[in-house]
Structure 1
Amino acid sequence: MRLDKYLKVSRIIKRRTVAKEISDKGRIKVNGKVAKSSTDVTIGSELVISFGNKILTVKVTSLKETVKKDEATDLYEIISEEFKENLN
């Protein structure tokens, strides 16, 4: 499954266009490599996503084309969630 679609279906990122923008800016790594929006995601892949002030690391546990809102968190397991400190 494409990275941008997985992020949207799993609701890690709400909209696919936003997922595409973030990944094409090099802010997402899949298994340690910078990923584009078209990168294939498989079960067991580790995603590191850099949001504005947060770095989220998740492991892909399931792939589905569509899921209900309450089942979305079953598609991944959070490994770590780090918050960056203000550098002012």
Structure 2
Amino acid sequence: MDAMRIDKWLWAARFFKTRSLAQEEVGLGRVLIAGQRAKPSRDVRVGDRLEIRRGDEVFVVYVEALSNQRGPAEAARKLYRETEESLQAREAAKERRQIAFEPASTIRHGRPTKREGRELRRLREGF
């Protein structure tokens, strides 16, 4: 096997929990192949450079091997090689998050629940 679908490879390499989630992320442009957006059906080959955005983390990896099966994490790590710059950037971001907490990360989106609405009214009225 010299090529396989990018969504299947991302699932096998354990970047995403399900293949459908991998398809969605590729479709949204959060996975770049050689710096360009791709469709989930795009083939990936050994030696390709991928940039994978997963939440706040950005992985820059080179494809080292292909696999049709999702195995243990130890086997998944053998499918790719992360660049040194990517490792350093992720470690620096991790240290920044530990030092300075980002208050906006706790903000939930959408309408308040019934319980939260009662609490807001209680606060406005002064108990």
Do Structure 1 and Structure 2 share a fold, with TM-score over 0.5?
A: yes
Q: Distance in 2 between matches of 1:72 and 1:54?
A: 18
Greater strand proportion: 1
Cα deviation 1:9-32 (Å, max 9, x = unaligned): 111212111101101011110011
The residue aligned with 1:6 is 9
Given that 2:60 and 2:82 are in contact with CA atoms closer than 8 Å, whether structure 1 keeps it comes out as yes
Structure with max Cα Rg: 2
CA drift of 1:75 comes to 0.4
Given that 2:14 and 2:70 are in contact with CA atoms closer than 8 Å, whether structure 1 keeps it comes out as no
1:26 aligned to which of 21, 24, 29 = 29
Which fold has the larger relative contact order, with Cα–Cα distance below 8 Å and residues 6 or more apart in sequence? 1
For structure 1, the residue ranges without an aligned partner over 5 or more in a row are none
* TM-score, normalised with respect to structure 2: 0.62
1:72 aligned to which of 76, 80, 85 = 76
| Identity across matched positions, percent | 33
Q: Distance in 2 between matches of 1:76 and 1:58?
A: 6
Cα deviation 1:38-86 (Å, max 9, x = unaligned): 1110000011011221111110000121253021110001111435676
Greater helix proportion: 2
Q: Distance in 1 between matches of 2:82 and 2:76?
A: 13
Question: Cα RMSD between the aligned structures?
Answer: 1.8
* TM-score, normalised with respect to structure 1: 0.86
For structure 2, the residue ranges without an aligned partner over 5 or more in a row are 97-101, 105-127
